Amino acid sequence: MGQQENEQLNRITITGAALSRATIAIAELGIADLIHAGQPQLVEDLAKTSKTHEPTLYRVLRFLASHGIFQECENRRFDHTPLSEALRTDTPGSFRAGAQMFHRLWAGWDGMEHSLRTGEPGFNKTFGAPVFDYIQTHPELGPIFDAGMTSFNCYETDAMLEAYDFAGISVLADIGGGNGSLISAVLTRYPSMKGILFDLGHVIGRAKERLKAAGLDGRCMTMEGSFFQSIPAGADTYLFRHIIHDWTDSQCKQILDNCRKVIPDNGKLLVADCVVPAASGPCASKDMDMVMLIFPGGQERTEAQFRSLLKASGFELNSITPTATAICVVEARPA
């Protein structure tokens, strides 16, 4: 093995971890909020305001700047780049909440070897509980998780609405819809549509305020429950965004079987997830598959895997609509 290979592995094994940890720590501390684009700030002032150790803050910001996160200017001043500006709390589509979420859950990656040996989620080994159970038993994480997932998914929503035509749907049920950001966007775009938001009780409690603030509480019913036990009837289209990829095939069959019991014969099932391409090479869906492996224990699937999974619960894959993001809208119909 030559120097080039060693240097590349060094960047992967050491620099990659350091870059991730530095980014989420800086996001947690709110450093990006202290800088306005075009107004470079002295690291001394940044350290005083953030109550951090100035020499260390400088080294971390210098490191991040070398990777395009912040820009180092003369006299130990730092300005924004597009990447660092996305860590500001007030930036539209801010990524700060997502970084803060992983700041708290990052140790789940320590379970990678456990996953390789057992096939189980590494998170469970590190934290002693499945990720969603852990969040439920730590109420302070709920709002952070909601905000984090919104920061991950907010840009996907517009892409979905541009790529997939929701016209003609009378009642859309967003199953496992979290804080209601997706159903709110769809109902706003399609004013004649009604909605059902279904999730666990502690999640629905947080979602009701969002729907009310958006003026949609009269058009969107909220219902509490577990999709492993039952799914509410009353919709002609059932939407699962980033739900199916959280679970194993057997768990997905439970969910989809429950959906098949209530979906009308002319209804539609929509699964918004990554679809892993058959070709080799890097892609975002394969990156996300590692997150699914370690945290909830699910997986991103290929078209063939989706087709097989859907067939097992009485659905037929009808179409796959790509979006401008990594996710696709997989449409299925009752077989």
Q: Where are the domains of the chain?
A: 3-91, 152-334
62 pLDDT more than 60: yes
Give the helix, strand, coil percentages of the chain, each rounded to 5.
Answer: 50, 15, 30
The percent of residues above 90 in pLDDT, for the chain, comes to 83
User: What is the pLDDT confidence band of residue 225, given thresholds at 50, 70 and 90?
Assistant: very high
What phi and psi values does residue 320 have, to the nearest 5 degrees? -130, 120
Q: Which class would CATH give 152-334?
A: alpha beta
3-class secondary-structure state, position 194: strand
Tell me the pLDDT tens digit for each residue of 99-114.
999 999 999 999 999 9
Catalytic residues: 245
Around 164, how many Cα atoms within 13 Å sit in the side-chain half-sphere?
24
pTM value?
A: 0.89
Q: Which class would CATH give 3-91?
A: mainly alpha
Q: How far is CA 278 from CA 59, 217, 282, in A?
A: 42, 42, 11
Q: How far apart are CA 16 and CA 323, in angstroms?
A: 28
Under DSSP, the state recorded for 264 is: -
- Least Cα distance to 197 among 142, 189, 206 occurs for 206
Q: What average pLDDT does the structure give for the chain?
A: 94
14 pLDDT more than 70: yes
- Least Cα distance to 41 among 66, 64, 69, 72 occurs for 72
Under DSSP, the state recorded for 40 is: -
| Average confidence (pLDDT) over 41-46 | 98
179 pLDDT more than 90: no
| Average confidence (pLDDT) over 74-96 | 95
Look-up: residue for tokens 């063939």? Answer: 304
Cβ-proximal residues to 330 (8 Å cutoff; 6+ apart), any chain: 270, 271, 272, 273, 275, 306, 317, 319, 320, 321
**Given this model, what pLDDT does residue 217 score?**
87
User: What is the pLDDT confidence band of residue 1, given thresholds at 50, 70 and 90?
Assistant: low
